[in-house]
Amino acid sequence: MKAKQRIIERLESLIETGEGIYRNARATPYNPYDKFVDEVESSRWAISSLSLLANSFGENSPQYLEFKQLQTDKFIRPTPVMWGGRNPEGGPR
C-alpha cells in the first residue's frame, strides 16, 4: 500500500472518530448550546491527529503547528481566577 493511501485512510478514520466524539457530546445543564465531549476520547483523537500531521507534513508545518496551538489553547484559557478576578481585556467580567 502506498504511503499516500495510508494517510488518506488514517485521515478518514480520524474524521469518523471525531464525528463520533462530537455526536456523543453532552449538553451542560446551564446552557443547552454548550456541549462537552468525553475528555479521554477527545485527547486520544487529538494526539492521534497531531501524530498524523507530524508524520505527514513535519513538526514545523503550518498544519501541525496550528493544530498543536489549538490543542494547547484548549487547556490554557485565562479564567477570572487566573486573572485575579478581573477581565484580561480590562472590562467588567
Is residue 89 situated within a structural domain?
no
- Per residue in 16-64, pLDDT (tens digit) is 999 999 899 888 777 777 788 888 898 899 999 999 999 999 999 999 9
Is residue 9 situated within a structural domain?
yes
Is residue 55 situated within a structural domain?
yes
Total domains in the fold of the chain: 1
86: left (phi over 0), alpha (psi -120 to 50) or beta: beta
* Residue 36 grid cell: 462537552
Is residue 87 situated within a structural domain?
no
**What's the CA gap between 14 and 16, in Å, rounded?**
5
Is residue 92 situated within a structural domain?
no
Domain of 67 in residue numbering reads as: 3-75
Is residue 80 situated within a structural domain?
no
pTM of the model: 0.70
Is residue 81 situated within a structural domain?
no
* Residue 80 grid cell: 477570572
Is residue 24 situated within a structural domain?
yes
